[in-house]
A and B are shown apart, each in its own frame.
Chain A
Amino acid sequence: MSPTRTRADAPPLVVPPLGPVPRPKRLTAAERTLPSGLTVLAVRRRSVPMVELRLRIPFQGSAASHPARAELLADSLLSGTEHRDRTDIAATVQGLGGSLSTSVDADRLLIAGSALAARLPEMLGLLSEVLTGATYPGAEVARDRSRLIERLTMARSQAGTVAHEALATRLFGRHPYALDMPQPDAVASTTAAQVRRLHAARVLPRGATLILVGDIAPQRTLDRAEAALASWAGTANASAAPALPDIESGPLVLVDRPGSVQSAVRIGGPAVGRTHADAPPLSLANLVFGGYFSSRWVENIREDKGYTYSPRSAVEHHVLGSVFTAAADVATEVTAPALLETQYELGRIASLPVSDVEVDAVRQYAIGTLALSVATQSGLASTLSSLAGSGLGLDYLATQPGRLAAVTTDEVSAAAAAYLAPARLVTVIVGDAGQVSGPLAALGSLTTAAPAA
């Protein structure tokens, strides 16, 4: 079978067994909620002489104008203060060996950065200056507004972005979770004054979380952060988005993208949050189905059929709810067969028991990759910032391996039946409707949405 051979006299080889499971190293950490309502968590990890910073500020909004204002705020936050212009801010960050960036989604505004650990006090000072004194100069905001419109145009030319928005709309309807990427005309009519008002109303410490991870002394770092951010105060008006709507089953939604050589297949349905009893077995069921390379779905539509390069499923956690998603970009001519195999694998895992071997494999994968994901300063900081969105922290990280270890095979099968059943899921496909609508109609009803821009 193989033209290359091992030497005939070689003894049969065995895959080496695993050694004893390594214990996670203990982390030195300290946490404090300041009088302003800001929670600061400092964690020592001395691997490199750096510090990572993540400031997560709750930023939900229900107004139609919110996404455009929030996005422009994020783009212009670092464009000026009373003392510095955009260039000065950037040059200062650079001189600290650092980086500082902003991003916003339907749940939070995130300021993420890093610096040489020895320069953390200056970084915190700059952060405070921006939080309490960003000026949003009119000319800067105007330029950021034009660039944002151009970037949105580029983003929406991506099939993946079109598919992401189509699935969000199918799952969440007109809820803000489906609208967080703003429309160009809404950006065009957003003013610097509106952005300044949003900053005054919402860029506030109560409920926010500052994560600092690196070559730092945690207690002293808390003192420094408290001193540096003492003047950042104020309480935001409660402005939560409404509860998520129930997801209604219905026909496959086909979004036409003429000339597309692939179809972006996106599937989604309701899931449960990190603290729900079903969450650990669901996370394992997701892995068995399509959440890692060694999964059933990847083996089927990639390694057996060659329909796609990177199919992957996931459980995504948001503040207001969690969703199961599955995504694959498949060649146009095999769109219907790929969907058929996908429905088969979903139906199979929802209807038939999973095996002990499969569950043991994904359990080790989940525990091992959790350890890998927090094995760097930046990975640990990002993970803690994301957990903060669910009100969780270091305790969760320490206890999650135990929860995964306790899951039984029956519980994984039950979670798959509850959350991965095709009847509970909705499907959108972005592709060349002229070529794929006929074959897809053979598998079930479909509706066609407006063509992609």
Chain B
Amino acid sequence: MPSARLPELTHELVHHTLDNGLRVVIAPDRSVPVVAVAVLYDVGIRSEPEGRTGFAHLFEHLMFQGSATLGKMEHPKYVQSSGGVFNGSTHFDYTDYFEALPANALERGLFLEADRMASPRLTEENLANQIAVVKEEIRVNVMNRPYGGFPWLELPGVMFDTYPNAHNGYGSFVDLEHATIDDAAGFFRRYYAPANAVLGVGGDLDADQAIALVEAQFARVGRRTRPARPDFAEPWPTEERRATTDDRHAPMPAVAVGYRVPDPADLGLDFLATVLLAELLSEGDSARLQQRLVQRDGLVTDISVYIGEFGDPFDERDPSVLTLTAHYPVRESLPAILSAIDDELERIVTDGLRPGELDRVRTRYVASMFRDLDSVLNRTLTFAKFELLFGSAEIALELPDRLGAVTAEDVREAAAALTPHTRTVLELIPGSAE
């Protein structure tokens, strides 16, 4: 029973499916002369083969190295000389490729995505080059950076037992160096079938014209079998797990505490309540853990709580994780930090929420969704992601209502599920850079 009035989230969405199985979500919006094109493939870090850690991400790089019609560097040049921007990113359960372009470049953007969906240009030379580039990416983001990759690269390895969930998603240098063109061709054939992808198109366009352009560009990609999606389920932990990791560049200790959360794809009240609980615990100076650990006890420099390895609760399927991270000056204070966290969770379980607390947390969360969806590119990616992971782009629009159904009692129960005996604690030990 939400009492705060919130604006509706409305948006025209048009669906279409090609004969080759490609699902299309069109989101017209004529307020700015910009369009976005996004292709999401239903393959991510969890699906890469054993002995090939980091391969999903390496393959993402290879998709920019030329395609059926285009040579190396041509994809970036066509996008950018059209006045647009591009990128791609690899997630646990999917990989995305996208462009934001002036509205007059829509057909060109569709061509560029169709051309590499038809066939990326996989060569030994490009593979060797991109292995080198990815190694530099890992050096700059992880090896040469204090707290680099903490905790998303190492926490899964402590929390989970099976290779798909537990391994390092950036990959080991040894595995990257062993990647072959045959690996890449096999990965492409298996996972980059049109039937295993969702195409999102959004912005300043007419839906019918856009569908015609999509057909004209993507119908040439042959149909291939959609691979069966493996079950990555793991049993819930039954006891606390602890581990440490060394970071030679870090000047101060840090901790990550991971808790399993309900299956995001169910979008149940238990999961949505956990989403709001994470906000209530750490978002802004009025949040419970900010007040307790930063302001009252002065134990930590900062603290944050988020769901999903990359901070988006709606970015992966089961199993997913609520992660709490904190940096703190004195290593010996870790027991006090953990006990303060338990104490604050227990306080929610015992005393419930304060008057108005859930409403303002929910109001801010929904408003931040509006803000994210203001960007044509973010909107297009979001609709395509909900279509791919949760079966319906419309769910993105229903989230304010669904979150509106969460009660203080639901949040209390969500807090009760975060117990010390099912959590994982990963302590980062700072090393001297000598």
Contacts and interface: CB of A to CB of B under 8 A. Distances in A.
B88 interface: no
A369 B131 CA distance: 30
A95 B4 CA distance: 9
Contacts of A307: 132, 136
B158 to A, nearest CB: 23
B107 A293 contact: no
B118 interface: yes
Interface string B344-361: 000000000000100111
Interface stretch (A5-13, A194-202, A416-424): A5-13
Contact of B252 (A6, A22, A45, A154): A154
A423 to B, nearest CB: 29
B107 A19 contact: yes
A2 B121 contact: yes
Given A94-B283, A309-B133, A6 B204 contact: no
Q: Which of A12, A156, A365 has the most CB of B within 10 A?
A: A365
Interface stretch (A220-228, A239-247, A296-304, A318-326): A296-304
A98 B105 CA distance: 35
Nearest to B122: A2
Contacts of B204: 22
Q: Kindly name the residue among B115, B128, B287, B301 whose own CB sees the greatest number of chain A CB atoms within 10 A.
A: B301
B33 A24 contact: yes
B136 A308 contact: yes
Among B132, B143, B147, which residue has the most Cβ atoms of chain A within 10 A? B132
Contacts of A10: 220
A308 B137 CA distance: 7
Interface in B326-374: 327, 329, 356, 359-361, 363-364, 366-368, 370-371, 373-374
Given A94-B284, A116-B363, A154-B301, A309 B82 contact: no
A292 B144 contact: no
B83 A369 contact: yes
Interface stretch (B39-47, B66-74, B261-269): B66-74
Contacts of A309: 133-134, 136-137, 139-141
Contacts of A158: 145-146
B301 A147 contact: yes
B370 A371 contact: no
* Shortest Cβ-Cβ A-B pairs, 5 listed: A368-B83, A306-B132, A97-B367, A22-B33, A90-B285
30 contacts: A2-B123, A4-B120, A4-B122, A15-B69, A16-B107, A22-B33, A25-B31, A90-B286, A95-B363, A97-B6, A97-B363, A97-B366, A97-B370, A114-B371, A143-B294, A147-B301, A157-B250, A259-B249, A260-B144, A261-B139, A262-B139, A294-B80, A303-B72, A303-B133, A305-B132, A307-B132, A307-B136, A309-B140, A376-B375, A378-B374
